[in-house]
Amino acid sequence: MKPFKLDNEPKITQGFTMPEGYFDSFTDKVLTQLNKEEPKVISIFSRRKTWYYAAAAVVVMLLSVPIYTNYATSSEEVDAVALEDYINNHTTISDDEIADLLDKEDLEKMKLELNLEDEAVEDILLNNTDLEQYIID
């Protein structure tokens, strides 16, 4: 390989040249081209007020939602499905406890009017062979 010496080889010239006194008048040229209008100043304090209002609205919403749900769901009426599930799952409930859960109106709705005559009762007793099972249960 041929020895390479930096001092002996011709150097590459730069592609760009700068005119004489270019940077002396550069700042003057730029300042004359700039727009002389003053920028609009926006106060920081006016922005803070909008943040205060937004934060206050969020706090009010966070406090009002749980309070509303507590008052809206505090109904004294018992859901029929929940009552039926409770009775099915707790088989040790007595008739008195069931009667305590029901209102007078509910009890009156549950009344059955059975107008059975003595002859109809005798026929049922004679024809039904499972009566002993019902008595045992």
pLDDT tens for 116-131 read 788 888 888 888 877 7
Q: How far apart (Å, rounded) are the C-alpha atoms in residues 132 and 12?
A: 122
- Confidence bin at 76 (pLDDT 50/70/90): low
% of the chain at pLDDT higher than 70 = 86
Task: For residue 32, tell me if it sits in a domain.
Answer: no
Q: What is the pLDDT of residue 37?
A: 74
Is the pLDDT confidence value at 60 over 90? Answer: yes
> Which residue is listed with tokens 């700068």?
18
Instruction: Tell whether the model's pLDDT for residue 59 goes beyond 90.
Output: yes
Query: Per residue in 87-120, pLDDT tens?
Result: 788 777 777 887 787 888 887 777 776 677 888 8
3 part of a folded domain: no
In a domain, 44, yes or no: no
Per the domain annotation, does 98 fall within a domain? yes
The rounded distance, in Å, linking the Cα atoms of 58 and 54 is 6
* Whole-number Å distance between alpha carbons of 83 and 90: 11
Structure confidence at residue 136 (pLDDT): 76
Q: Is position 111 within any domain?
A: yes
Question: pLDDT at residue 24 above 80?
Answer: yes
Model confidence at 137, pLDDT cuts 50, 70, 90, reads low
* 8 located within any domain: no
In a domain, 72, yes or no: no
Distant-in-sequence, close-in-space partners of 107: CB < 8 Å, separation ≥ 6: 99
Reported pTM: 0.24
Q: How many domains does the chain have?
A: 1
Domain that holds residue 103: 80-132
Rounded Cα gap, residues 55 and 63, in angstroms:
12
Please indicate, yes or no, if residue 93 is contained in any of the structural domains: yes
The two three-digit tokens of residue 120, written as one number: 């109809």
Q: How confident is the model at residue 61 (pLDDT cuts 50, 70, 90)?
A: very high
Quote the pLDDT of residue 45: 67
**Encoded tokens for 34:** 């700039």
